[in-house]
Amino acid sequence: MLFPTGFAANLALPYALARTNTAIFSDELNHASVVDGIRMAVRGSSAAAGGSASVLHVYKHNDVVDLESKMQAEAACGMLVGGKHVGVKCLCV
């Protein structure tokens, strides 16, 4: 994909990559345009037909231990669609 600006890329990529069944992990100090793109992805996934919504997890700035604990908690919970576990994608930004 080619974007005219970094702002456009930050808005479009999370939405394109995290439509449904995606666990999104975001650093608490991400740029506002990245946060806006993630919000659009989460809202868009809840409106998408078929599949379950994406879920946002915010981890402490540059804290790999906090990120790992949030990722493990997400893996333990899994995602259920119609009572069945479905595959979950991860997007870390």
- Residue 20 corresponds to which amino acid? T
Q: Which domains does the chain possess?
A: 6-92 (3.40.640.10)
* pLDDT tens track for 72-91: 888 766 655 555 556 667 88
User: Mind listing the pLDDT tens digit for each residue in 54-75?
Assistant: 889 999 999 999 999 998 888 7
Instruction: Answer whether 53's CB lies under 8 Å from 45's CB.
Output: yes
Whole-number Cα distances in Å, 65 to 29, 70, 79: 16, 9, 23
One-letter amino acid for residue 65 of the chain:
V
pTM of the model: 0.80
